[in-house]
Amino acid sequence: MSTHDFEYECAGTNARGLLALPEVREGEEVLAPPYPGVVVCHAWKGPGSFERERAEELAEMGFAVLVADVYGGDRAKDNDEAAALMNPLMEDRGGVLKDRLHASVAALQSHELVDASRCAAIGYCFGGLCVLDLARSGADLRAVVSFHGLLAGHEFGATPVASVLACHGWDDPMATPEAVVQFGAEMTRIGADWQLHGYGNAMHAFTNPAANDPGFGTVYDSTADARSFRSMVDFLFERLETDD
């Protein structure tokens, strides 16, 4: 597995992402290129070590992985800076955010080692909302997986192509049980192939070992992390290893 910085044009901004690729080693059975691709959409502080680690894990499994950058190179040092970066995009989900997300998918799909017909996207927190919006807006993907993503709907006027898996902490204060019901109704209404896995006693950011702020609603849960990771892997292999 190899990683390197990956700059790409992202709907009016210069994105600074990371590309992780499988490494062919003599004598080992590995998938040969072109590889199925996965876009990793970052949480609200921007791409960092957490997203990099996930990308490396997936590359070891045979996926070509792009850690996307919808902030145009900016990174947040604290929650206030994160909100300042995220909120303008949240207010323009059908415009700038959608364009940057689709540009990130196109950047991965255009890579010479990637099979553009077998791509997916995964995302965490804000990035979870991002991958759900990729599905909502009809992005040409086989699958999207949201981890503790914000579930608030948005109308794009498109029918999802991607199958949807939402991994949700049931005690997430940022996505209440009422929001879950609304999300399910929305997915059914727009014709999505969707499923939601709810993890009891898990809060927001349950996949992030650095999350430890019960007052803010973000707490790591090793059990939910492991179970949701396995669900993601099974889902990706189901959707990306076939010619459907």
The pLDDT assigned to 23 comes to 84
The pLDDT assigned to 32 comes to 78
The pLDDT assigned to 11 comes to 87
Residues of the chain with pLDDT under 70: 25-31, 242-244
Name the pTM for this structure: 0.96
The pLDDT assigned to 28 comes to 61
Closest CA to 193 of 171, 172, 164: 164
CATH topology assigned to domain 2-240: Rossmann fold (3.40.50)
* Domain residue extents for the chain: 2-240
Per residue, the 3-state secondary structure of the chain, as one string, reads CEEEEEEEECCCCEEEEEEEECCCCCCCCCCCCCEEEEEEECCCCCCCHHHHHHHHHHHHCCCEEEECCCCCCCCCCCHHHHHHHHHHHHCCHHHHHHHHHHHHHHHHHCCCCEEEEEEEEEEECHHHHHHHHHHHCCCCCCEEEEECCCCCCCCCCCCCCCEEEEEEECCCCCCCHHHHHHHHHHHHHCCCCEEEEEECCCCECCCCCCCEECCCCEECCHHHHHHHHHHHHHHHHHHHCCCC
The pLDDT assigned to 241 comes to 82
C-alpha pair distances (Å), 75 with each of 40, 116, 127, 177: 16, 29, 14, 31
The pLDDT assigned to 172 comes to 98
The pLDDT assigned to 26 comes to 61
